[in-house]
Structures are given as C-alpha cells and as structure tokens.
Structure 1
Amino acid sequence: MKIYHHIDEFKPLINAVVTIGTFDGVHQGHRQIIAGLKELARQTGGETVILTFFPHPRMIIHPEQQDLKLITTIQERATLLEQLGVDHLIITPFSRDFSNQTAEAYIRDILVNKIGTRKIIIGYDHRFGKDRQGGLADLQNAAPVYGFEVIEIPEQDIDHVAISSTRIRQALLKADIAQANAFLGYPFFLTGGVIRGNQIGRQLGYPTANLLIEESYKLIPADGIFAVTVQLGDEVFKGMAYIGHRPTINGMTRNIEVNIFDFNRDIYNQTLRMNFLHFVRHDVKFTSLEGLKEQLAQDKIDVLKLLENE
C-alpha cells in the first residue's frame, strides 16, 4: 500500500475506485465496505483509494471538546488498512481552510482533478464541504459532468458501522474486551514505547514494562488487569497487563504496564504492541503490598488459564 500524507503528493489515477471516511478502528463494518471497494476495483481493473483525514475533523472544528478518543492512532489505522490490501491511502491534513471548501470545489479539485475518481462508494449520510453542505445528491449531480459513478452504501450498512464504532468505544471504557474484539474482528491493541517506572512490580516479583502512549487521543480501556499477548518485533509473548493509578501505593498518575511471562530482557526505549484478549478483574486497593502480591499470583494463574489456547 502506498501512503500519501497530503493530497498534493498523489498523482491522479486512470481508474480510481474511491471511498472516504475516518475508518477509526478499521472494524467489521469498515471491512465490509473495503471488501466491496476491492471487488469493484477487481471487476473494473481499477485501483482502490481511501481518502481519510488527520487530525480528526472534530479536533479542528471543535477544539474545545477534549473528550474525543479514537480506537486507533493514524499509524495503527494505516497498518490495518495495509493488511486488508488497499492500494492507496491518502491522509489529508484537515484544517479550517480545507473545511471551508465549497462542495463543488471539493468534488472538482479533490475527487476529480487530484485523485482521478471513476467510481466512488459513499454513504447516504456522508457530508463534506463548507458547513458540511455537500452530500450524496451533490455527488450524484456531478457524476455525469465529470464522468464518475456513485455507488451508495445502503443505510443499514452505514447504521451498522456507526453503531459498532460507538459500541466498541463504550465496551472498551467498560473493560468489555470480548464485545469490543467481536466488533473489531481482531484484538484491540495499544502500541507504545517502553519507559522506566519506579520498579514496584520488580519488588513484588512481577517486573513490568511501562508503556508510554504518546497520542493523547488514543482510547485507553477501563482500569484493571487483562490477559494479553505482547508483540516485540517478530516475537510474541504472553503476559498480564495492568491499567490504573496503583491505589495500593497511592499512585497519582495512570499507568499502563505489562508483566511479560518467561521474559528477562532490557527493552527500554523499544516499541511493543499489546493485544488485549481477556478482561480479568477491576483495579482495587489492597491494605498491604503483601496482599497485592498474593493477588498478582492468582491473577497470573487466571491469565495463563485464559491464554491456554491462544
């Protein structure tokens, strides 16, 4: 897959088969749309193009809303789309100037002149242009003028996409990993660099890798203990992850840590991916470190049992 970080980097194609969207999570609903996009390209000898935007439009149009959390970072989204076999991904920087284009200019300058769109798969409720005034009808009216075809995504499919995105976020915030993963079609994951902690886990006999998630907009699941697998380069390990404020030691910051089983290496400053497979328990405050240590021993037993067949 070729990735373009600005529309100006893209050279128009002879036969571009296009869809547009945020594709946060690249979940089961999105995968249906992408499968249709690829099949249409196969039938017509075209190349698949996904046009997405970053930052997320809400971050620019409503900067006062700090509650927007996304299932995937833009880098993670690109990786997932590449795995699905998309030919071209255009990540267009979203700005107020970009949002102020008229619908006509958007169609003419972006879809036609910049991309070379011959077929576009789009939802009935997709909006674009200044004040979101452009929509499906504008595309359908422009299609014969510019020589492209509009394929509408059925309303029920769009509703499925919207519902599952919302449910994934809600599920993760409730630590319902099973539900989130069912909608995603793969395990939810966090990607980050390993940083130094205060070695409490090591003192308890459960040394942890502390994960730094640099993207403030990345959604972090609810606090608790999770059964995970950890990808470090081409290697995969089992482990138990912890998310929380470490109430037993009156911690002030929210930590993301993972105890990697049968592992004893210095991996500071390396990047790892943590795949969430099962929720084990909520975070609780213990009266002593000894009590916490005893619970961690039971947690490990529970996690190993959950990961037996992974």
Structure 2
Amino acid sequence: MKQHTSADTFDGLKGTVVTIGTFDGVHLGHRKIIDRLLASAQSNDLESVVLTFFPHPRMVLQKDTGIKLINSIDERIALLEASGLDHLIIHPFTKAFSRLTAEEFVKDILVDQLKARKVIIGYDHRFGRNRNANIEDLKAFGTQYDFEVEEISKQDVDDVAVSSTKIRKALNEGDLTKANEYLGYPFMLNGIVSRGKGLGKKFNYPTANLKIEETYKLIPAKGVYVARASINGKEVYGMMSIGTNPTVGGSDLTIETFFFDFEADLYDQHLQIELLTRIRDEKKFNSVDELIAAMQADERFSRDFIQKLDA
C-alpha cells in the first residue's frame, strides 16, 4: 500500500476506484465498502484508493464536542493497510477544505487529482460544504464527469446498522461485547509503558502502566477487562484495570495491565493491548484486603475465559 499525506500529492498512473470517509474504527460497515472497492478495482484493472481525513471533521468544525475516536490515526492506517489497498490518502481536514462546494470536491479532487473512474460510497454518505450533497448528487456528477457511482447498503448486526457512533456509545457504556462485534476485531489501546506508583507490585499484581499520547483516543468505561498483547513475538494474556484506584485514594485515570505468567522489563516499550471482554465495573472497596480478593476473583475469571478461547 502506498500512503499519501494529501490528495494533492497523489500520483497514481492509471484510473482509480475511490471510496471516501473518516473510517473511524474500520468496522464491519467500512469493511463491506472496502471489500467491494478491492473487488471492483481488480475486475476493472484500476487502482483502489481510500480517501480519508485527519483530523476528524468534527474536531475541526465542532471543537466543543470533545469527540473521542475509536482509533488513533496510526491504528486506522494499520487497519486499512491490512485490507490490501493500493493507495491510502490521509488528507488534512481544515476549515478551508470544508468550504469546498460539492462540485469543487468532485472535479478538483476526485476527477482531476485522483482520476476516479468509479466511486463506491456508503448509503448515508454526505459531502461538500455543510455536507449538503448526497449520493443522488454524486450520481449526477458522475454522469457529468464520466465516472460510475456504486452505493453500498448498511451493514447490519442483529438488525442494527453498524456505525462508529454506536461503537463509541457501546465503549463509553462498557458494552465491550457489542463494540467488538460491530468492529469485527477486539478494541485496542496503544501506548508506551510508563512508571506508575508501584501499588500493583505491593499487592503481588505488578502492572504495566500504559500512557496513551493521543488525547483524542477513546478510553472505554472504567472497569476491569480481559486483555491480550503480543510482546516480543509472544502472545500474552492478562487483565486490565481502567480507573482511578479509588480504594487507595487515587484520582488520576490510569490504564494498568497485569500479564499472566510473564516477567520482563517493559518500561518505555510500545504495547498494543486488545480488550477481549469486560469483567466488572470499577469499585471502591472498604479495604485493601477486599481489593486483593476482588483482583484474585478477576484473575480466576480471566484465566477461565482465556482457557475457553483455546478450547
């Protein structure tokens, strides 16, 4: 896959099949579109192109919303690259860009810059200034500028249309099962292992404290989760606590993972940790002994869960 930092730098040598979107989560609905994109590009001897944007449009146009994203930009790139695209364009989303009319976007970017012969788009896609153009407008532009438009219907899971908004809501509410089902893969957190207060070690549960640099990255609901990571080529399981450690008077949000049957110095290492299931809410216990007993119960639950994965 060739990555481009702007549509202006695109240098494809032949016609393209293009899809457009923010692709936050690269979820099942997005994958339905990308699968069709790849198949169409192959059958028509064209190059496949995903045109996506960063920052997220809402981060630019509605700064007070405080939107948190399912994926960091690096996670989004990795997920899209794994799909087998020819080209990924990450176009800077600015206020000036948002003021392009629908026709300016189509002519200047899709036609002149990307040489689009076909555009594949989700059923609810809107574009142009104030998002005032829809798929019917795109089809009209296709007739005018000689490219085909294909509409992809919604992707349903249990009769519910998958969307990034619904996945964010599920994660914020602690419904990891639903979020992972809609994503089609386990939700992940990426960060650098930093030094914490060493409380876990005192309780015989030494943890890796994950520091996430991207302030826009969505952190799921506080609680305890079964987790998995690949460390130095080895698949390692454990349990992750997201919370403020209220039992010991904590106030800052921390992300701490105790890995089972694993010992290594992880400080300053980059880790990608997948969240497999949610065990329970964060709770303030009456004593440290109660906290340790709960952690032991969490470990038993986690090990049982992991054993069933391998069964």
TM-score (norm. length: structure 1): 0.94
Distance (Å, rounded) in 1 between the aligned partners of 2:201 and 2:285: 18
Offset at residue 283 of structure 1 (A) = 1.0
Q: Give 1:300's aligned residue.
A: 299
Residue 244 of structure 1, CA deviation: 0.5
Q: Percent identity?
A: 46
Aligned residue in 2 for 1:61: 61
Report what 2:79 is aligned to.
Answer: 80
1:167 corresponds to = 166
Residue 125 of structure 1: how far off its partner (Å): 3.4
CA contact (8 A) 2:229 2:273 kept: yes
**Bigger mean CA offset, 227-236 vs 160-169:** 160-169
The residue number in structure 2 matching 1:26 is 26
SS state at 2:209 partner = strand
1:32-65 residue CA offsets vs partner (Å, 9 max, x unmatched): 1111111111211111100001000011111122
Is residue 2:113 matched to residue 1:114?
Answer: yes
Partner amino acid, structure 2, of 1:198: K
C-alpha separation in 1, matches of 2:9 and 2:209: 37
Structure 2, unaligned stretches of length 5 or more?
A: none
The more displaced of 50-59 and 82-91 is 82-91
Task: Compute the RMSD of aligned alpha carbons.
Answer: 1.8
- Mark the CA change 1:288 to 1:124 in structure 2 (over 3 Å): closer, same or farther: closer
Within 5 Å, give how 1:50-199 maps onto structure 2. 50-66=50-66, 68-154=67-153, 156-157=154-155, 163-199=162-198
Contact 2:155 2:162 (8 Å CA) reproduced: no
Report the AA paired with residue 77 of structure 1.
R
Q: How does 1:248-259 map to 2 (within 5 A)?
A: 248-259=247-258
Could you tell me how far apart the structure 2 residues matched to 1:161 and 1:278 are? Answer: 21
Match of 1:271 in 2: 270
Letter in 1 for 2:46: G
1:11 maps onto 2:2 in alignment = no
Q: 2: distance between equivalents of 1:74 and 1:167?
A: 19
Instruction: Output the TM-score relative to the length of structure 2.
Output: 0.94
Partner SS, residue 307 of structure 2: coil
Instruction: Report how many aligned residue pairs link the two structures.
Output: 308
* Distance in structure 2 (CA, Å) of the matches to 1:262 and 1:2: 40
Partner of 2:259: 260
Partner of 1:2: 2
Q: Larger deviation: 21-30 or 122-131?
A: 122-131
- SS of match in other structure, 2:63: coil
Displacement after TM superposition at 1:153 (Å): 2.3
AA aligned opposite 1:16: T
Are the aligned partners of 1:232 and 1:271 in contact in 2 as well (CA < 8 Å)? no
Q: Which letter maps to 2:5?
A: H
- What SS does the corresponding residue of 2:85 show, helix, strand or coil? coil
Aligned-residue offset at 1:297: 1.6
Alpha-carbon distance in structure 2 between the residues aligned to 1:206 and 1:299: 12
Sort the Cα spacing of 1:161 and 1:123 in 2 relative to 1 into closer, same or farther, 3 A: farther
Partner AA of 2:127 in structure 1: F
Higher mean alpha-carbon deviation, 25-34 vs 130-139, is at 130-139
What is aligned with 1:218? 217
Cα distance in structure 2, aligned partners of 1:32 and 1:221: 25
